[in-house]
Amino acid sequence: MSATAVIDDPLVTPFLQCLIARTRAEDGFGAWERKSDRSLLADYIITREQRRAIPIIGDPDPDTLTRLEQFYQAIGLAVERQTGLVATPMIQMNPEGFGRVVLITGRLVVYVRSLRDVHRFGFETFEALAREGTKAITQAVAMIMAHPELARA
């Protein structure tokens, strides 16, 4: 699937399936068992109005940091499912929510993204969420395919 393709049902994309699985794995007590996948991922959706209500400067709260980590862990999981190689995210961020995330496979950095305004982390729609994750997966897999010897090292 192209990273810019229109998505009929974003919840069936490989990325969102990984994000759902990753999120459900955190539910050790079964509290989210009856939650639908859509409601499970609802915190990732921030409308324009909600985003405008969030101050421009702020520190990310623990729930937002957890969602950010799960987002990049799901990208790593999807990359692993496609390539068979473990892709580990590493996030370095200051308390104000600025930093960088890298995804590493073997000795190869397969994905890099600067982080800013993490306290406002979210997407307008499920389709935008799926598209962003799919785009990152596509970039990471392309880097692995371009440098397989480093990825396997």
The burial class, CB within 10 Å (0-12 / 13-18 / 19+), for 108 is buried
Q: What are the sequence ranges of the domains in the chain?
A: 10-151
DSSP-derived 3-state class of residue 72: helix
Question: Which residues in the chain come in under a pLDDT of 50?
Answer: 3-4, 6
Per the prediction, the chain carries an average pLDDT of: 91
Residues 120-140 have pLDDT tens digits of 999 999 999 999 999 999 999
Domain formed by 10-151, architecture = Orthogonal Bundle (1.10)
The structure's pTM equals 0.89
C-alpha pair distances (Å), 35 with each of 41, 68, 102, 119? 10, 20, 31, 25
How far is Cα 92 from Cα 94, in angstroms, rounded to an integer?
7
